[in-house]
Structures are given as structure tokens and as C-alpha cells.
Amino acid sequence: MKVLTCLFAVMFSISPWGSNLAANFEQSNSMEHKPKPTAALQLLLDGNKRFSEDKTNCPDRNQVRRLATATKQKPFAIVLGCSDSRIPPEIAFDQGIGDVFVVRVAGNVVSAVELSSIEYSAIYNDSSIIMVLGHESCGAIKAVLANQTQDIEAIANLIKPGLKSIHHSPINLVEAIEANVQYSVEKIKRSPVIKKLMKAGKIDVVGAYYDFSTGSVRLLNKATL
């Protein structure tokens, strides 16, 4: 059913009357429109609800949108996610081309490279929400807990400090994944660039956890705005 829904969306977009409606939609819903942080977060959550219920709209994945984003982008959200192939943010949040600025790295960690990418979109794309998205059964976290990090030392060194907030042993995998997400959230919030935008009410940072079997995203902390 989901495949048929996406196929219908594509067929609709390339039909004569579909193209006209799509063009009108682009005019009335310009990429220049920037939602508030709380509204931007809700757009992600609503899209994920559609995805988890197999009711995706497959929005803005057509020629009209490709042309509209060929020379500019104004993604309303930034998602820092894991490189895991099972959690592509644009699909999990049922968003279209140009809607989400995605930064992916194993363990959804934050180094200077990831932070610079996030800051870029916050400044130049006027994105309104930053989500750090961890996920079920994260392999990088498993490796750290098992002390088997010889092949991912650079990533493990960015994960280990966040697990120090857990003061008991053994550490549960889920709580370790959540602690790692929260650690990345706090690192992003400490950025002078992000801190300034948050103070002005222009952006917010949240953490979330993705469940593979249900496709659902669960917030780990509430938006501050």
C-alpha cells in the first residue's frame, strides 16, 4: 500500500493538472517560510506518525520540487543521525527534497566537523529545529559497552564521555543510547552560534530515539521553546 501511495504521488505530480496544483502549492508554501521551532518539531513528528502507520504522503519528491530547490535550499529541520542504513531521516519523517538538512555519522556523535555542518544550516538555511536521532541496537554503543572499540576508536572516544552520566553497572543498552543522544544535544547547545540562536527563539535542539520494529520516534527531551 505504501508503494502504491508513493507511486500515485509521483503520477499526480507529472500529470497536467497535478503539475498546476503542485506549482500553485509551491507559490503559496514558499521555502522562504520558516516555521517556529515548536512547529518545525511537530512537522517532523507528524511525518514520523504517517511513516510508522504506513500512511506516508511522499511529499515534494518530484520534478517540481527538484526545480524549486535547484538553486537554493531552506530546510526547516536539521537531523544529526547515525549512518545506519535502516534509519534514513527523510523517509522516517516523510519529508521531501529540501526539507531536512541531514548530518549522518556512526553513533550520531558530535565532533568539530558535525558541529560545523549543523551551524552552517542554522545560520545560512534558517533551520528552526535540530534533532539528534539515536536508534535501537546502535552498533557503536554496543562496541563501547563491550569494550571492543579497536576499529572505531575515533567514534568511541566521542561516545565514552556521555556514558559517564550513568553511575551504575552494568549499563543497559537503551539507557546508554539515550545518554549518548543527550550528550550530543548538550554539545550542540554549548555552541556559541546555536546558543545565540536559541536565546533569540529562532532554533531549538532536541534528542530522540528511533525504534526499528515500529518505525516510531520518541522524544527524549522536550523543546525549550
How far is it, in rounded angstroms, from Cα 86 to Cα 170?
27
Residues with Cβ within 8 Å of 151's Cβ and at least 6 positions away in sequence, in order, are: 143
Best CA proximity match to 82, nearest among 141, 37, 31 = 141
Residues of the chain with pLDDT under 50: 3-5, 7-30, 223-225
Predicted confidence at residue 32, as pLDDT, reads 60
Identity of the amino acid at 8: F
Residues with Cβ within 8 Å of 135's Cβ and at least 6 positions away in sequence, in order, are: 81, 82, 84, 86, 87, 177, 209, 210, 211, 212
Report the predicted TM-score, pTM, of the whole model to 2 decimal places.
Answer: 0.86
- Give, for 129, the enclosing helix (H) or strand (E): strand 129-135
Predicted confidence at residue 109, as pLDDT, reads 98
Mean pLDDT of the residues in the chain: 88
The predicted-structure confidence for 79-102, as pLDDT tens digits, reads as follows 999 999 999 999 999 999 999 999
How far is it, in rounded angstroms, from Cα 159 to Cα 176?
9
